[in-house]
Structure 1
Amino acid sequence: MKKLFLLCMFVSALGSAQTAEQIVQKQVEAYNQKDLNAFMDCYSEDVKLYTYPNTLDVEGKAKMREQYAQFFNSAKTLHCTVVKRIVSGNRIIDEESVQYNSTTFGGVAIYEVKDGKIISVTFLN
């Protein structure tokens, strides 16, 4: 009976774990809703944001929250459309089209996910 219980708990835990793609999609949806808390919940405490190829722009969740709070607050219109997505293990590559107020711009974001959180994003402009 004890082994059956442990097996059921293990299978349940596997079923509830989110994939890297689901985590990235969750942050896209929170971004589109300008829900800063839900958006930041997708990121690790020591997240790093880069501009390609390796320029470190932001390090740490607190600094990222500060920057995105200003960005979200200044946006009357904010919407990200994923044009194309490539999933490769724990890395998600999104071609994105972003509408920010009256401006639309495109870019590519490479997300790396570990232990259920986004640990790094590299932006290509």
Structure 2
Amino acid sequence: MIHYFLSLSLLLLGTTNAMSQSKPETPAVVKPVELQLKGYNSRDIDLFASAFSDTVKVYRQPGVLTYQGRDELHKRYGAMFASTPDLHCEIVNRIVAGDVVIDQEKVQRKKGEPRTDAIAVYRVKDGLIVEVTFIPPHNQ
């Protein structure tokens, strides 16, 4: 009987360890945010823009619309990608709640210069980013 409980305990312990080591599936809401990050870091404007809806709204701060539309996003980021070969974004922290993804980022624009802090709030609908708000720290 003791052998049975010992075997059962070891089996359950192994199952628990295997379950805790498996990587959870990425929520669907995160997928377009990851796609745009991949495009951003590779400076691939078409890949980057494909993560956004045609009517995406881009805000610089909550409630302050900077521009709207994928075409405008494509134009602005295309120019930035062309002029910043060292551009790279690292996600420091991520919060996912419903249809919202909030990323705390460190952005490198030029090698040798300090990275800047950024906060991006993405709202996702039907697999595309429909709204993004950038919240710059007050010291930048």
Q: Which runs of 5+ in 2 are unaligned?
A: 1-26
Counterpart residue number, 2:120: 109
Show the counterpart of 1:73.
Answer: 82
CA distance in 1, matches of 2:60, 2:48: 20
Paired residues, what number? 108
Question: Partner letter of residue 71 of structure 1?
Answer: M
Deviation at 1:22, TM superposition (A): 1.6
Dislocated runs of 4+, deviation >6 Å: none
**Hey, what does 1:55 align to over in structure 2?**
64
Residue 33 of structure 1, aligned match among 22, 28, 42: 42
- What secondary structure is seen at the aligned counterpart in 2 of 1:69? helix
The residue number in structure 2 matching 1:19 is 28
* Residues in 1 aligned to 2:68 and 2:81: alpha-carbon distance in whole angstroms: 19
**Larger radius of gyration, structure 1 or 2?**
2
Q: Distance in 1 between matches of 2:85 and 2:100?
A: 31
Supply the RMSD in Å over aligned alpha carbons: 1.1
The answer to whether structure 1 residue 93 and structure 2 residue 95 are counterparts is: no
Shift of 1:64: 0.9
Q: What secondary structure, in the 3-state scheme, does the structure 2 residue paired with 1:46 have? A: strand
TM-score (normalised: structure 1)? 0.83
- Residue 89 of structure 1 deviates from its aligned partner by 1.1
- Partner Cα separation in structure 2 for residue 64 and residue 92 of structure 1: 19
Identity %: 36
The one-character-per-residue Cα deviations of 1:42-92 (angstroms, maximum 9, x if unpaired) are 000000100222110011111111100110000020100000000001100
**Comparing both chains, which one has the higher relative contact order based on Cα–Cα distances under 8 Å and sequence gaps of 6 or more?**
1
Contiguous gaps of at least 5 residues in structure 1: 1-17
